[in-house]
Chains A and B, each alone.
Chain A
Amino acid sequence: MLVIGERINGMFKDVRKAIQTKDKAIVQDLAKRQLASGANVLDVNVGPASADPVSAMKWLVETIYEAVDAPLAIDSPKPPVVEAGVKACKRPPIINSTDGSPDKMAALIPLAAEYKAGLIGLCMDEKGIPSTVDARLEVGMKILAACVEAGIEPQNVHLDPVILPVKFSQPQFAVSFETLRQLKTLSDPSPQLVVGLSNASQGCIDRHIVNRITLVMGIAGGLNEAIMDPFDTELMHAMITAELLMNKQIYCDSYIDAYMKSMGAGK
């Protein structure tokens, strides 16, 4: 399971403050602690508050690289911000994200191809989030085909069936899980399957249990990546156990310890 740590995001107050005051320590501490908690990739998002998101993104990426050498996921709805982040990366990042709209794909697919970056593709487009499995698959296939045509290998395409908050869009969960299961069969080798996990629990009082169960059900359907909170220990343990049950890891009595050690985490 690829854990993309979500905490370096301007939506969080501490990160917003760090961006505004150029406080490197806050960002670097979050980077280190997320990796120590089992994250494999660090998501980087300047959030909505920054007046100059392009330079804020560049600053964030450079600041993180001063402290750790981990792959990053450059996260912004604005292609110029994404480009600034990708260019500042020392190693190929994951671009987070395009959707099926022609403008987005035209801006981000060539960028991903040029920098050998991974690309997250959301199964939605300029018309919104499709309400049926087939319509979401169609968008996923469109993104995957465009990526492959641009020379990006399917393994570098990360398709996201899109998970909406359960509080507001309850019927969509079944659609998302079925989409996930079918996305896996789009190509061989299959694309990576990712979700933005915390979205599931937006507005819920007990967010942890919703996130945890969403992740476990996703893993049962073939999910192999998530943008999530690695500081949520129960969530991490649920993930490790779900992967074990799916025969992705070899059992031993200390399998959680073994997983964390294999990730180089916990140091």
Chain B
Amino acid sequence: MPVARVLDKASGQIAEVTIGATKANGGSRASVVKVGGETAMPFMFDDGVMPNAPVVGMEVWDMQPTWPDHLAVHYKDVWNNPVAWAAKCQEKFGAQMICIRLIGTHPDNKNFGPDDAVKVVKAVKGATGLPIMVIGCDVPEKDNAVLPAVSQALAGERALIGFASQNNYKTLAATCIADGHNILTSAPLDVNIGKQVNILVTDMGIPIERVIQLQTTAALGYGLEYCFSAQERIRQAGLGGDKMLAIPMLATVGYESWRAKEAKVSAAEFPAWGPEDKRGPAWEVATAVGVLLSGADILLLNHPEAVAATKKYVKSMM
């Protein structure tokens, strides 16, 4: 006897967020990305719609990263030149967004100031037509000095800027409103705090269609299941009508995956683990698929093979 499939019809819909503005909309981007708009859990097309495929963004740092050789080999020629780095991500690796990560502004790193950051951001803006996002160094005082300057340099580009956290959101929220950007809220794998930050920024006057949320991503083997549960719960609540959680999600997959020992170490050290140049990107892809299945809309990745495999996976699921 055939059994009828039980469908989950949601009462809510995830907000649809546009990142990037073309010339016609006051920016200079050649393309924009739209994320969100779902009325069902990821890829459950019988239950509802998923009008926008998840997108892959790639990181451009403002300083040379300390990556293992099998990742660094793809970036060594460009990693002291953000312009070339961004261009390579776009042209060679197929990035759909560029994420400028201002790690160098961290006081423990290069301690770059607002002017240095603006220089990098302006250069990347000129080098790529892709939508841009910028992430600060996550030191509140420093971000509050750097991000407003960066925001202004990108005014009109409808960029995505982060992080807004529970204890530090006012400066960034105000500056995103003034310059017409989207804001990235963040919470440390805590659904309650995540919801609160979303309320705080919308109370400041940011429309819900200008917010992307991040729950700290955890890589495979380092808490991916917690991240999965948090994202899944957020998405289910959003689909259930909780507008403060019905917001597209971003996951910093590459950054977290490449901190995993299993992605980094060489086969010479751990012969049983197999060749690192396959294992590294595989770790990243496994993490990517996990966060995709729990509702991530934007993934930030590092390894070009991981980018290709993840995009292929998304395509196959859509």
B305 to chain A, nearest CB (A): 37
Tell me which of B194, B196, B202, B242 contacts A249 (CB under 8 A). Answer: B242
Known contacts A250-B191, A250-B237, A257-B203: A262-B242 contact under CB 8 Å: yes
Nearest B residue (CB) for A258: B244
Give A251 to B193 CA distance when docked, in angstroms: 9
Contact surface of B with A, Cβ cutoff 8 Å: 191-196, 199-200, 202-203, 233-234, 237, 241-245
A253–B196 touching, CB < 8 Å? yes
Give A264 to B191 CA distance when docked, in angstroms: 21
Nearest A residue (CB) for B12: A262
Main secondary structure of the interface of A (DSSP, over half): loop
A205 interfacial by beta-carbon distance below 8 Å: no
B10 to chain A, nearest CB (A): 13
When distances are taken between beta carbons in the complex, the residues of chain A under 8 Å from B195 are 250-252, 258
Interface positions, chain A 230-267, Cβ under 8 Å from B, are 249-254, 257-258, 261-262, 264
B192–A252 touching, CB < 8 Å? yes
When distances are taken between beta carbons in the complex, the residues of chain B under 8 Å from A257 are 199, 203
Tell me which of B196, B203, B241, B243 contacts A252 (CB under 8 A). Answer: B196
Interface size of A by Cβ–Cβ distance < 8 Å? Answer: 11
Ordered by A's residue number, 8 sampled pairs between the chains whose C-beta atoms are within 8 Å are A252-B192, A252-B194, A252-B195, A252-B244, A253-B192, A258-B242, A262-B244, A264-B243
A261–B237 touching, CB < 8 Å? no
B243–A262 touching, CB < 8 Å? yes
When distances are taken between beta carbons in the complex, the residues of chain A under 8 Å from B196 are 252-254
Tell me which of B193, B234, B244 contacts A261 (CB under 8 A). Answer: B244
Nearest B residue (CB) for A255: B195
When distances are taken between beta carbons in the complex, the residues of chain B under 8 Å from A252 are 192-196, 199, 244
When distances are taken between beta carbons in the complex, the residues of chain A under 8 Å from B191 are 250
Nearest A residue (CB) for B245: A250
B138 to chain A, nearest CB (A): 21
When distances are taken between beta carbons in the complex, the residues of chain A under 8 Å from B244 are 252, 258, 261-262
